């Protein structure tokens, strides 16, 4: 007897949404730096932002959310106060963030995959690196055609609701705890080997690598599947996940 798959964890950037992360972040930092210029010196703002983000990635303290860790470090680096700065930057996401949408591409297979997963009764988690506020992640999900107001996701990881980030195994452990799912009943889907595949596999999740079928994986023993999002959508719709399983 095998334990059926209960949950599917889906990365966002360059998985559900066509988005060259390096290029997107370059444009994001440029736009955010321009927006911040009236209140912060541009020469120090971006380095401090990156340092605070790196501190957040290193954090695994379950007592503090990623948002709390980020702002504690950003305050220490800049001398600013979260109570003053957070509303200012919230307006950036309300008024400016959408200008980055042309940098991304819709992948029609994202809708097919998400619908197929829900149709098969799976808990669907948007397992994107939780270094952005919820609004930035929800906007990108809308750009991908799978918005939060149309799909009942079990969890969308954001910097407000998570206490660890990729590639920390603690990030995946926290997701599984939140949705009450053992690792052997979950599959992680993502394009980034270091952030998505290796740490998820280390905890015992199944994995599907979004990569060309002829791409050579760093460790094939960590994979249960590999290919495009289109191929995965067809596999899920055809019952592939039901055929996965380990002895219960």
Mean pLDDT for the chain overall: 95
pLDDT computed for residue 2 by the predictor? 56
Phi-psi category of residue 188: left, alpha or beta, with phi > 0 → left and psi -120 to 50 → alpha? beta
Residue 246 pLDDT greater than 70, yes or no:
no
Express each pLDDT in 93-129 by its tens digit.
Answer: 999 999 999 999 999 999 999 999 999 999 999 999 9
pLDDT computed for residue 1 by the predictor? 41
pLDDT computed for residue 126 by the predictor? 98
CA distances from 174 to 15, 110, 159 (A): 21, 24, 13
Phi, psi for residue 65 in degrees, rounded to 5: -70, 165
Residue 132 pLDDT greater than 80, yes or no:
yes
pTM: 0.95
Helix (H) or strand (E) holding 91: helix 82-95
Express each pLDDT in 173-214 by its tens digit.
Answer: 999 999 999 999 999 999 999 999 999 999 999 999 999 999
Express each pLDDT in 33-56 by its tens digit.
Answer: 999 999 888 788 999 999 999 999
Distance CA 47, CA 53 (A): 10
Sign of CA dihedral 186, 190, 193, 199: negative
pLDDT computed for residue 43 by the predictor? 83
CA angle, residues 16, 17, 20, in degrees to nearest 5 = 125
Residue partners of 111: CB distance under 8 A and separation at least 6: 145, 146
């Amino acid at each position: 007897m095998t334990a059926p798959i209960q949950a599917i964890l889906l990365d966002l950037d360059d998985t559900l949404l066509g988005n060259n992360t390096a290029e997107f972040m370059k444009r994001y930092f440029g736009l955010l730096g321009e927006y911040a210029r009236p209140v912060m010196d541009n020469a120090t703002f971006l380095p401090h932002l990156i340092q605070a983000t790196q501190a957040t990635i290193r954090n695994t303290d379950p007592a503090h959310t990623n948002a709390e860790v980020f702002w504690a470090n950003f305050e220490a680096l800049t001398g600013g106060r979260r109570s003053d700065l957070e509303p200012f930057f919230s307006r950036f996401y309300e008024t400016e963030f959408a200008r980055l949408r042309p940098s991304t591409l819709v992948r029609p297979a994202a809708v097919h995959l998400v619908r197929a997963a829900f149709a098969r009764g799976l808990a669907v988690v948007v397992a994107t690196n939780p270094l952005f506020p919820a609004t930035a992640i929800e906007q990108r999900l809308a750009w991908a055609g799978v918005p939060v107001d149309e799909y009942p996701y079990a969890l969308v990881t954001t910097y407000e609701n998570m206490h660890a980030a990729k590639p920390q195994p603690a990030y995946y452990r926290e997701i599984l705890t939140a949705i009450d799912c053992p690792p052997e009943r979950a599959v992680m889907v993502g394009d980034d080997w270091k952030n998505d595949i290796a740490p998820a596999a280390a905890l015992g999740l199944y994995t599907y690598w979004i990569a060309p079928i002829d791409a050579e994986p760093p460790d094939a023993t960590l994979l249960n599947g590999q290919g495009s999002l289109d191929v995965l959508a067809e596999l899920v719709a055809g019952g592939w996940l039901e055929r996965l399983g380990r002895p219960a």
